Structure 1
Amino acid sequence: MSSSNHGLGRRSVLAAGGLGASALGLAACGGSDDSSSGGSGGGASADFDEHGPITFATGKDTTGVLKDFLDRWNKDHSDEKVTLVELPESADDQRSQFINNAQAKSDAYTVLGLDVVWTAEFAANQWVVELPKDKLPIDDMIPATVETATYFDKLYAMPYATNGQLLFSRKDLLKDAGYDEPPATYDEMYEIIEKVMADQDGINGFGGQFAKYEGLTCQLTGVVKSAGGELFDNDGKPQADSDAAKLGLQTLRDGFDKKYIPKEALTYKEEESRQAFQDGKLVFLQNWPYVYDKFEADDGSSKVKDKVSVSLVPAVKGEGTSTVGGLNYAISAFAKNMGTALDFIAFMGAAEQQKAWFLQTGNPTAATAVYEDEDLKKKYPFLDTLKDSIDKGAVRPQVVKYGDVTQAIQEAAYGCLSGDTETDAALSDLQKQLTDLTEK
């Protein structure tokens, strides 16, 4: 995978700055807690000889199948059972609870399900322990995913899942409007929307994640990248008021102003936008690939079954760029029974579980082999497109005070998209805020 060429490869550069005077480092995701701005220390030393019951703390399981995987483990490990601790669905709330647990030095959480941009922050603060590479199937993982689990060349988590957003299109509506292919750019997409909406009553154009939460940071990061820029440069300096950033944000603002993006999209997170498309209310949707299974469900819940095509997300110019997502599994520095935790992580990273999770949930996993698997290719005919999306993906800002940074990005973007501020003013103010946050 080549996604290191699109931001992941800067990890060591920004990390070095983070431990120096510039205060720049590696990101977490969500929340406004700035407690990660320094190393709190106090992490327990890793004892992988200790075995016994453990807990697995991760975000709410919206798939409904995680329990089956844990049952499979527990059936064969009666003295080392895993108990699931479900955290909120919101990434912001998950991060806050993880940090609170770490600051209390609590052993309530053993294995942590961390967003890919949290791993290094937790490592820097000694909230998670270094993992032995020879005990985990790291060599079988996409190299870029391993980078997200690495801090100063040491492994602090095991990549479990990766992700790239895709564009889902109503191919039946496109055909009726005279289009054979999904749009490659926003200009093309807006043109199609205008024609479809003129011919169809009660349908809206484009849906994405535009509510004021982490998904909006993902949305802006990708659209700015596709406009030829980044919110932070390779040295970790904010570039929020660059011409590319202005072009990217204005492209989205134009969509709202011209009603190509419905006003209610300002309330959309992943599930709200998925439901709107699934109910036949949208021509286009940008979302993660898990939604595809729901669109193709046989139970009558989907009004778009057999009517959906899949492509790369639209570009402002050049190629469409998704923000990379995913999940890493780490072990709390304050946990007991780390030996069991390590074995459980290895179990979840094994090829059998990686394939099964992808097949059953539609959530892409980190193992390289799944992208060549015939069963997966049959179920997900867009697998090559997904791999392309991940390869070309953008990474959210990798900064120590990520909670404050993402909140500032969300406020600026939401204020502009909702019409409260204009693009230049919103990004000028954001540039000042980001500069203050990264220079203190």
Structure 2
Amino acid sequence: MIGKASVRGAALLAVAAVVLAGCGDSGSDDSGGGQSGALEGRGPIKFATGKDTSGNMQKLVDEWNGKHPDEKVTITELPESADDQRDAMVRNAQAKSKEFTILNMDVVWTAEFAANRWVEELPQDQFDLDNFLEPAVNTAKYRDKLYAVPVYSDGGLLFYRKDLLDAAGVTEAPKTWDEMKTACDKVKALPGNAALGCYAGQFDKYEGLTCNFSEAVQSAGGSILDESGKPTVDTQEAKDGLNFLVDGVKSGQIPQAAVTYQEEPSRRAFQDGELIFLRNWPYVYAKAGATDGSSKINGKFEVAPLPGKSGPGVSTLGGHNFGISAFAENKATALDFIKFFTSEEAEKSNLLATSQAPTRANLYDDKELVEKFPYLTTLKESILTAVPRPQAVKYGDVTAAMQEAAYSAINGQASTDDALKDLQSKLESLTTQ
């Protein structure tokens, strides 16, 4: 069942579409785009993506290449940071370069890339979108047209050391921030545990902080935008959410090192046994459960919904979509490769290899997969109730403002009141242009 949060998220998507429709440069002839309107041409293509940490992406590419020797795909790995990946893709588009063919885009980039005509519109009737998770499909559309295909979805999850909680007499995963703190105190009181960090997420000044900050606000009952599209961060609820992060760092519940964490450093800290609780994406499950000696906590952790101020928290909607560069050659090959990569077989293969969230809904009910990944039911609910980040043509400016506000408060450079007041003003300017 889809909860209130996803209804609110859907409303925000609709509002965002109205806001974007009023942007002066969203579809003008001088926007720098170059869409031909035709997906033609066959031959080799290049696939721009973040780091392939599992090797399964290359495995699928190799499978494609073996069957299509004249239409080979080459992976171009971009930097680890999502912000740096976006910058590389934007530079490629602004230069009208043919270097990238397929773009592995964060779900929140669709509006910006589509409005600037940096990616091609895709034929909706060639994809069985009814079989994909609806929130994931919504992230791939702009003005009701399809500009990408959802490949990976994502919902934030709470990874926790069940062995440590059991030893401390804590029988259930925490549902609230206070319960999490109490559990941490009990674990750290046991011999040898005093140096453990209680909780970490992704608090470096990058896109991950936008997600973590949004989740904190939402999990305190607040929102970034209301249903009419008006910014709502200068509120008590938003203050409570940001204070959860600020006070966590001040008290030491959140280790000081966490203000430098992106996804991978936080994942490594957890699987090296340095943390009791970690907020991260589902891909961590496979890494932390590795049996090759790379993880110190294999068999010692479990997964739960994110906690919130007074009950279960609300995730930010994450994930990635594949789009086709408007400036590329061999777009027909690119379209077929996306169909291959988003097939049920490929998505199941990827889940088994990486524990990343699939976008095909039926895989969450596959008995074999649920047995191997018991968290799938929790993950599906996290995705269905997740709230999207603000979709904006000038998303780079929006997320930069959110990161600046959260980071300055977390690091004691601004009070939460001042940070949120300034953010409110900046978002009002960005969403009314």
TM-score under structure 2 normalisation? 0.94
Aligned runs of 1:176-191 on 2, under 5 Å?
A: 176-191=167-182
Q: 1:116 to 1:106 in 2, by over 3 A?
A: same
Query: For residue 201 of structure 2, what is the aligned residue in structure 1?
Result: 208
- Find 1:54's aligned residue among 45, 49, 55: 45
Aligned runs of 1:6-155 on 2, under 5 Å?
A: 6-20=8-22, 40-155=31-146
Query: For residue 266 of structure 2, what is the aligned residue in structure 1?
Result: 273
3-state SS of the aligned residue for 2:282?
coil
Contact 2:6 2:386 in 1 (8 A): no
Contact 2:16 2:390 in 1 (8 A): no
Shift in Å, 1:136:
2.2
Contact 2:102 2:334 in 1 (8 A): yes
* Counterparts of 2:329 and 2:288, CA distance in 1: 42
Amino acid across the alignment from 1:7 = G
3-state SS of the aligned residue for 2:358?
coil
3-state SS of the aligned residue for 1:118?
helix
Shift in Å, 1:9:
4.3
* Counterparts of 1:73 and 1:386, CA distance in 2: 29
The percent of aligned pairs where both chains have the same amino acid is 51
Contact 1:44 1:333 in 2 (8 A): yes
Per-residue CA deviations over 1:241-261 (Å, capped at 9, x if unaligned) read 111100101122221222111
Q: 1:400 to 1:166 in 2, by over 3 A?
A: same
Shift in Å, 1:4:
4.6
Query: For residue 166 of structure 1, what is the aligned residue in structure 2?
Result: 157
Per-residue CA deviations over 1:300-338 (Å, capped at 9, x if unaligned) read 222212111210011122321111111111111111111
Q: 1:24 to 1:321 in 2, by over 3 A?
A: farther
Amino acid across the alignment from 2:105 = L
- Find 2:240's aligned residue among 247, 255, 261: 247
Per-residue CA deviations over 1:104-132 (Å, capped at 9, x if unaligned) read 11111111111111112211111111111
- Find 1:357's aligned residue among 339, 350, 359: 350
| 2:360 pairs with 1:367 | yes
Amino acid across the alignment from 1:18 = L
- Give the gaps of 5 or more residues in structure 1: 26-35
The runs of 4+ residues in structure 1 deviating greater than 6 Å are: 36-39
- Give the gaps of 5 or more residues in structure 2: none
Contact 1:133 1:155 in 2 (8 A): yes
Q: 1:4 to 1:394 in 2, by over 3 A?
A: closer
Shift in Å, 1:265:
0.9
Root-mean-square deviation (CA, aligned residues, Å) is: 2.0
Query: For residue 33 of structure 1, what is the aligned residue in structure 2?
Result: none
* Counterparts of 1:241 and 1:419, CA distance in 2: 18
Query: For residue 157 of structure 1, what is the aligned residue in structure 2?
Result: 148
Per-residue CA deviations over 1:260-300 (Å, capped at 9, x if unaligned) read 11111111111111111111111111111111112221122
3-state SS of the aligned residue for 1:57?
strand
Contact 1:37 1:401 in 2 (8 A): no
Amino acid across the alignment from 1:121 = E
* Counterparts of 2:11 and 2:312, CA distance in 1: 20
* Counterparts of 1:321 and 1:159, CA distance in 2: 21
3-state SS of the aligned residue for 1:7?
helix
Contact 1:12 1:151 in 2 (8 A): no
TM-score under structure 1 normalisation? 0.93
* Counterparts of 1:89 and 1:271, CA distance in 2: 9
